[in-house]
Amino acid sequence: MDGNDARLVAGERFTPKFDRAGLLCAIAVDVADDAILMVAYMDQEALAATRDTGVAHFHSRSRQALWKKGETSGNVLHVVEILVDCDQDALILRCRPAGPACHTGARSCFFRRLDSNTLQPVKS
């Protein structure tokens, strides 16, 4: 562990560590039961918008633009709490979802499991 890493781990200061593409990983979970809803990426702008509004914003890697989750569908994620990992390059957003988080209409994007080489529905 180098000095920089030690400061990230031990300090009280929030110094999010964006990768070479300017992104960090954000996992949205439902505050009701901590189920993982979706994973997306945030740049500095998306993180600031999330903190300012209390509603999850991400950076769309395909559109290369700020993405307010649920802007079209109405299925926004109200962020109740943000957890930060040891080296500050990943976040957990504990959310109250306004509706299904997945664009397919599923509650969670993780609705399939890998069974040998095929994908099968997760038992709910």
Question: How many angstroms separate the Cα of 7 from the Cα of each of 12, 17, 26, 71?
Answer: 9, 12, 21, 37
The answer to whether residues 91 and 41 touch, using CB atoms and an 8 Å cutoff, is: no
Among residues 3, 52, 74, 114, the one that binds a copy of itself under rule CB under 8 A: 114
**Sign of the C-alpha dihedral computed for residues 117, 34, 89 and 77 taken in this order:** positive
Instruction: Tell which positions 62-81 bind a copy of itself, by CB under 8 A.
Output: 81
CB 86 → a copy of itself: shortest distance, Å? 5
Q: Does 123 bind a copy of itself (CB under 8 A)?
A: no
**Chain residues that interact with a copy of itself, rule: CB under 8 A:** 1, 9, 11-14, 19, 21, 25, 27, 29, 34-36, 38-39, 61, 81-87, 90, 92, 102-104, 106, 109-114, 117-120, 122
